[in-house]
Amino acid sequence: MPDKIWTIREVLGWTRGYLERKGDDKARLAAEWLLCDATGLSRVELYTNFDKPLTPEERARMHAGVERRAAGEPLQYVTGEMPFRHIVLRCERGVLIPRPETEVLVDAVLEHLGKPGEDEAPRVLDLCTGTGCIACSIAQEAPGTVVIATDIAPAAVALAERNARVLGLGGNVDVLECDLAAGVAPELYGTFDVLVSNPPYIPTAVLAEQVPAEVRDFEPALALDGGEDGLDIYRRILELAPTMLRPGGLLAVELFEGSLEQAAQLAREAGGWRDVEVREDLTHRPRVLLARSCA
């Protein structure tokens, strides 16, 4: 942006055109997000303050954000936040960005927790928590639920802890750094009403050849690559789940659209599960596997 007085209207127009020329297919939305981040205004406030000039500090912040976005960096990393269901989460490079399809996974967990059960507080185990989007949403929307969230990546653990604390959910969300459930206290085995996970699930070849560069080049491979068929971590979770769930407990896992039928068959062959179900995401693609423990 050349050095002159720039109003919100002018910055929006210039940024949209610049990002379109850089190949951003959501240039208008990106321009709005970046300008909200630079000015502290909401999207509605941008359009009611069209003639407001940016301060030098706002202009510098906007310029830096535009350049990062033009280089292909996801908006969520540039602005540092992402709305998810009824909360807004901090996002940082090195931690997977929450996706709208994961909201369907949370819906399934809340449905299960909403059924009449024992008087004690429900207990949920969230494996591969990332930003803590699942854990925090469950704790916020099902008050009284105790959530233990785990991740193997220190950056994810630190961010999930911060998100829970900022949202006022630290008393109900306990974040552990460990491989799957390795850090869960043995006395909690068999006490969970739900084991939920959004594990790495993209098949290796798909990640290399079909995933957009914005995802492949910026988001952590550790949180994306699910092995040859996308089910490497799922198989471990399926083996672990009977040990962690109470009788009738729910296993809820988000997986790659092309892997769901195989995942469901693996659960049926393993035995000990009933009501094995595949649910579609918001775009009507297979996305979530649900199963209930028999034992």
Segment 39-51, tens digit of pLDDT:
999 889 998 999 9
Using only C-alpha atoms, the chain has a radius of gyration, in whole angstroms, of 21
CATH of domain 81-293: 3.40.50.150
Average confidence (pLDDT) over 121-136: 97
Please report which confidence band the pLDDT of residue 237 belongs to, taking 50, 70 and 90 as the band edges. Answer: very high
Please report which confidence band the pLDDT of residue 121 belongs to, taking 50, 70 and 90 as the band edges. Answer: confident
Residues 6+ apart with CB under 8 A from 77: 68, 91, 92, 93, 97, 218
Place of tokens 């994306």: 224
pLDDT of residue 168 exceeding 90: yes
Query: Over pLDDT 90: what percentage of the chain?
Result: 88
What does the pLDDT read at residue 116?
Answer: 43
Please report which confidence band the pLDDT of residue 214 belongs to, taking 50, 70 and 90 as the band edges. Answer: confident
- For residue 86, give the H/E element and its range: none
pLDDT of residue 2 exceeding 60: no
pLDDT of residue 195 exceeding 60: yes
Dist CA 242 CA 282 (whole Å): 29
Domain residues of the chain, as ranges?
8-68, 81-293
Each residue of 238-281: pLDDT tens digit? 999 999 999 999 999 999 999 999 999 999 999 899 999 999 99
Q: What is the dihedral of CA 97, 101, 106, 109, to 10 degrees?
A: -130
pLDDT of residue 193 exceeding 90: yes
Q: For the packed helices 56-70 and 27-39, what is the interaxial angle rounded to 10 degrees?
A: 140
Place of tokens 């030098």: 56
First to last CA, the chain: 64
Name the DSSP class of 195: E
Coil, strand or helix at 44: helix
What does the pLDDT read at residue 43?
Answer: 87
Coil, strand or helix at 249: strand
Query: Over pLDDT 70: what percentage of the chain?
Result: 97
